[in-house]
Amino acid sequence: MNAYDYTFKSINEVDDINLSDFKGKIIMVVNTASLCGFTYQYDGLQALHNKYSDDGLVVIGVPSNDFGNQESGDNEEIKEFCDSSFGITFPLTQKYVVKGKDAHPFFQWTKKELGFISGVPRWNFHKIIIDRSGNAIAGYTALTKPSSNSFQKKLSNIISQ
């Protein structure tokens, strides 16, 4: 199995986001929350999307209410918040569980692939990187800002491979 075996429902609750549609691209899956102290990272994620999408980066936001009840809104409220506050243009999924036995199957897979530290979100804005072949290759906690030079350098190296 690899990342291409997984599908999320879009935040519009109609369309599917099939990771297999992104074969040959770098995919960054990030669990998000509107009321988190790390919510400012939406700006950095959008900047990465803008900077690297032509080079094959796909950012996918996965809203989750798993940590501190920081995403209690419904999908429509989440989309409105992301649009009006951050101008998000990268794909957002509907709200999902990202940890534990009820986690979306993608996150159960990344736990097996990357282990507990890198593959399981332990807070909002955990970033999981999928390579161009659909393999989970890295996970970064919320403490790693998308805007940080070191993270952007790592991402640029992954994209250039």
In angstroms, rounded to a whole number, what is the distance separating the alpha carbons of residues 93 and 9?
6
82 in catalytic set: no
Parallel, antiparallel, or unpaired: how do β-strands 127-130 and 26-32 relate? antiparallel
Q: Which position among 11, 19, 36, 45 bears the catalytic label? A: 36
In angstroms, rounded to a whole number, what is the distance separating the alpha carbons of residues 110 and 106?
6
Half-sphere exposure of 106 (CA within 13 A, CB side): 29
Continuous H helices in the chain:
41-52, 75-86, 105-119, 149-160
CB 103 within 8 A of CB 123: no
CA distances from 102 to 71, 107, 155 (A): 17, 10, 30
Q: Give the residue numbers annotated as catalytic, written as ranges.
A: 36
